[in-house]
Amino acid sequence: MDFGLPEEYVSFKDMVHRWVDAEVPKSWARDLEKDEHNYPFALWDKFTEAGFHGVGISEEYGGQGGDVIMQMVLARELARSLGGLAWIWGITSFAGSKSIGIYGSEEQKRKYLPLIASGKLKAAIAFTEPSGGTDLLGGMRSTADRVEGGWKLNGEKIWSSSAHVADYLLVIARTNKDVQKKHQGLTLFWVPTNTPGVKITPLSKLGMRSMGSCSIHFEDAFVADEYVLGEPDKAWYMLLPTLNNERIMVGSFCLGVIDGVLEDALDYMKQRKAFGKLIGEFQALQHYVADIATMQTTTELLVNYAAWKMTTGQDCGLESNMVKLVASENANKAADLGIQILGGMGYSAETDMQRYWRDSRLWRIGPITNEMVRNGIAETLGLPRSF
């Protein structure tokens, strides 16, 4: 039984690791993150130059190729330095390449995937609603009504990351109210952000600052039929595989955060002196760093297992939920321990521990709360639905 990554993934991981240290070091990430109102276009451009937007997109459509495992390796290495700013790559990878790549038409694939792969198209996800939060289906108020040649979209979305700079929004809305179950009658739209009736407003928040998160208002926004993804009224059935992918991706970002925390903690413990000796000699701090290393290995095994199951076409719903749960809680706890190890410097904006903590705190809430993830795991194990 081999728990290691095959050589092609190890080589890719080493290459990205070196690229991150040279091109997007932690000090630069700190500077980018300081101003939440300035989107880091320079970071996007670096991803473009490196070809990362094409990872996971078939060469047939102008991409670099690579499977889910390759994407997760990239996500981990980017987050080691960038933390939540790695979502600058991840959002379009999910909203654009994954979504269109899975349930887009051939015409849509040929039109949009080369633009995504070349870094010429940015996308954002517009699913969450103010009245629903994690209760996406129960809180769905956005509607799209049939009109000649397309649809009239009305409603409001919230916490749409990078929507203010996106070219397209991946939007889910109710198109049929005469249904027996809440997951029925939903449709996916690929909405140009310059559509009349679309208003995007940035929001302030705790972490992932310069990436930007927004509220979006749709008021009689006309969306032509060509922007419907997949079959109308069947969106939820199409989304489920990509939601698993998103949760594994979150787990990979969290694993990268743990990598960064462990690097910084060990470096500081080997240099900082207190009470006449290096703090790396203190037993309590050694226990903290041992816990972080254990979290790292535990998370890595889960991420790799879930990514392997998805890549090989196996059902990974249970594992993707477990990855999201364990990885987000481990990352946030590791960052908290990292702050404790660094003491006052861990709380300072001059170091990265506070950034890791703020960014990883979101992943315990989104894209789905860990409480709801636990409900899903219990239901998968045969227990009755609790919500």
Closest CA to 327 of 95, 78, 76: 76
- Distance from C-alpha of 90 to C-alpha of 214, rounded to nearest angstrom: 17
* Residue 124 contacts residue 166 (beta carbons within 8 Å): yes
33, 129, 246, 319: the catalytic one is 246
Q: Is 246 a catalytic residue?
A: yes
Rounded to 5 degrees, what angle do the CA atoms 26, 31, 36 make?
A: 120
Closest CA to 172 of 213, 139, 197: 139
Q: Could you give the residue ranges of the DSSP H alpha helices within 93-195?
A: 99-103, 106-117
Task: Tell me which residue has tokens 């009504």.
Answer: 145
Task: Tell me which residue has tokens 């979504």.
Answer: 99
Strands 273-274 and 213-224, by their bridges, are unpaired
To the nearest 10°, the Cα dihedral for 348, 300, 43, 241?
-130
Backbone angles phi, psi at 129, to 5 degrees: -120, 150
End-to-end CA distance of the chain: 39
Closest CA to 358 of 336, 330, 340, 341: 336
Closest CA to 187 of 175, 195, 178: 175
DSSP structural state of residue 331 = H
Phi-psi region of 197 (alpha: psi -120 to 50; beta: other; left: phi over 0): left
Could you please report the per-residue DSSP string of 261-295? HHHHHHHHHTT-EETTEEGGG-HHHHHHHHHHHHH
* Active site amino acids: 246
